[in-house]
Each structure stands twice: as structure tokens, then as C-alpha cells.
């Protein structure tokens, strides 16, 4: 997907309605969190909406914009206001895969990831890597697509008697288990459905292409079969529009104090009690 995301950088903002909305809703959740990170990272930053919001909220933190596609990082750089450049407050840019971050252990106070981790077949290695680079007491906040994403197209596949090629996404409970397996403590998960509408199927396909995710989201299928699926999808039209629903899974979790040392020995902590 690196090349797809790279090619999408120029037209990404025009189609990123869903990402902006989920990012705004994630940011609202930060209102409930007491946090003052010294360093933070937007993992899978795209053109930088997330890192700019984090800079606004935490102006004293050192911001890091991370993306697998270099053109996305170039877009982040191009959108830095001149005042930030003058004050040398531009985010640091890092071209990296979230599963192998070139960062020291316990580097970040906040890791933010908006609609990125679901593109990994197995998010667990990425969650373990994020856990590694977070400092103790650090926070991971993320959003991902859930299994009912594009349920209308999935239903159209069933109606057309075509095996759905659409990407499978992990559900909220499995993701919570992955967070615990990665070492996070007491993850908080919730979900909601957001629905976009389009006048035509072409509009939906064009948006996914501009985002660089069409092939990864829809999967491979012969055009003759797609025609049957799209015909069934058209029969779902309501009020002249086609609905495209996206299940959004939100999660956040903290990195707790370690319970074992690097050699596997249990860590026992004693607290002095005043008498």
C-alpha cells in the first residue's frame, strides 16, 4: 500500500471527509484526559490533520509526523504555517512503518493513530511496537474500521450471489484483546456507525481511489461480477442517494508499570507507609 498512499497524497484532502470527522471525534476524547506529553507522534499522519490538532492542544510537546509514504510527509511539510517554520515548531517527519519504528524505547508520551491500523492484516505487532516506544504512563489513542464497514456493499454481494471480496476488519472485542496482549492496561473501546452518501457508485469508487485505498478496501473481483454487485447496490438507493456505512472503532489505553523485568523476573514494588 505504500505506493498507493504515495500516489494519493495530492488528492487526499479532497476525499478525506471520514478521516477528518473521526479525527475530530478522537480529539474530543482528549478533553477528558489529563495529559502533558513531552513528545507525541501521529502514526500514519497522511497530510497532517492529526499532528496539527495535537500541536494545537499540546504546544510544548515535540511533535512527530510518521507515515509510510514519503509524498504524504511532503504534504505535511507544505502545510506548515510560516509562523511555525519561523519559530522552528514544524513537526519532525519520519518515513517509517508503524510495525518497526526507528525510535528509542519509552520515547513518546502520546501515540495517535487515525484510521490506519486496520490496513494491517495483523495489528498486534504494531500495537506491541507502539507499546515499546511509549513511556510508562503514556497513552495510545486510535480509530480503526470495524467489520460492518460498507455493509451495504457486503449485502449487495450476497444478493448478487458473489463471494464478498471486501476487506475483513477486526471487531472491537478482538482489538481489546490485542491491546492487552501487547501489554497495555485497561483498554477502553467503543464504536459507532458513520454513513456517507453518494449520488453514484462512481462517486464512492473515486473517493476510495483518491484516498489510495480502493484496491485494499474493495479487493479483487472480475468486472462482470462487480456489475452484478453494483446492480444490487443500486437497488438499495434511497432518496436518490447510495449509502456507504463505516463502522468506526475507537480505542485508548495506557502503558502501565511493567510487571516483569527484561529477564522475566517479577517486579515487586514496596510503598512506604507513614505512621
Q: Candidates 3.40.50.150, 3.40.640.10, 3.40.50.2300, 3.30.200.20; correct CATH number of 2-254?
A: 3.40.50.150
Helices (H) and strands (E) in the chain, counts: 12, 7
Per-residue model confidence (pLDDT) at position 270: 46
pTM of the model: 0.90
Closest of 15, 68, 24 to residue 198, by C-alpha: 15
What distance in Å separates the CA atoms of residue 47 and residue 123, rounded to the nearest whole number? 22
CB 72 within 8 Å of CB 47: yes
Per-residue model confidence (pLDDT) at position 174: 96
Per-residue model confidence (pLDDT) at position 4: 72
Per-residue model confidence (pLDDT) at position 274: 59
pLDDT tens string, the chain, 275 residues long: the values are 677 777 778 888 999 999 999 999 999 999 988 899 999 999 999 999 999 999 999 999 999 999 999 999 999 999 888 777 776 778 999 999 999 999 999 999 999 999 999 999 999 999 999 999 999 999 999 999 999 999 999 999 999 999 999 999 999 999 999 999 999 998 999 999 999 999 999 999 999 999 999 999 999 999 999 999 999 999 999 999 999 999 999 999 999 988 665 555 544 444 555 55
What distance in Å separates the CA atoms of residue 262 and residue 236, rounded to the nearest whole number? 56
Angle at 90 between CA 117 and CA 106, to 5 degrees: 50
What distance in Å separates the CA atoms of residue 27 and residue 260, rounded to the nearest whole number? 33
Amino acid at each position: 500500500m505504500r505506493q498507493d498512499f504515495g500516489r494519493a497524497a495530492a488528492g487526499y484532502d479532497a476525499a478525506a471527509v471520514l478521516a477528518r470527522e473521526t479525527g475530530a471525534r478522537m480529539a474530543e476524547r482528549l478533553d477528558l484526559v489529563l495529559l502533558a506529553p513531552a513528545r507525541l507522534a501521529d502514526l500514519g499522519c497522511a497530510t497532517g490533520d492529526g499532528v496539527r490538532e495535537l500541536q494545537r492542544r499540546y504546544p510544548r510537546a515535540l511533535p512527530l509526523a510518521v507515515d509510510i509514504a514519503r509524498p504524504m510527509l511532503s504534504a505535511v511539510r507544505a502545510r506548515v504555517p510560516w509562523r511555525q517554520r519561523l519559530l522552528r515548531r514544524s513537526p519532525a517527519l519520519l518515513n517509517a512503518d508503524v510495525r518497526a519504528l526507528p525510535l528509542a524505547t519509552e520515547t513518546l508520551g502520546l501515540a495517535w493513530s487515525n484510521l490506519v491500523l486496520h490496513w494491517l492484516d495483523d495489528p498486534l505487532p504494531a500495537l506491541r511496537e507502539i507499546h515499546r516506544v511509549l513511556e510508562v504512563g503514556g497513552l495510545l489513542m486510535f480509530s480503526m474500521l470495524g467489520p460492518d464497514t460498507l455493509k451495504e456493499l457486503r449485502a449487495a454481494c450476497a444478493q448478487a450471489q458473489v463471494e464478498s471480496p471486501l476487506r475483513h476488519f477486526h471487531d472491537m472485542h478482538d482489538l481489546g484483546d490485542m491491546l492487552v496482549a501487547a501489554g497495555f492496561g485497561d483498554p477502553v473501546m467503543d464504536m459507532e456507525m458513520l454513513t456517507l452518501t453518494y449520488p453514484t457508485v462512481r462517486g464512492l469508487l473515486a473517493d476510495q481511489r483518491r484516498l489510495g485505498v480502493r484496491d485494499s478496501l474493495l479487493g479483487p473481483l472480475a468486472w462482470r461480477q462487480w456489475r452484478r454487485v453494483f446492480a444490487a447496490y443500486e437497488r438499495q438507493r434511497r432518496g436518490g442517494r447510495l449509502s456507504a456505512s463505516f463502522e468506526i472503532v475507537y480505542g485508548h489505553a495506557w502503558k502501565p508499570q511493567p510487571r516483569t523485568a527484561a529477564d522475566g523476573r517479577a517486579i515487586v514494588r514496596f510503598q512506604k507507609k507513614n505512621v
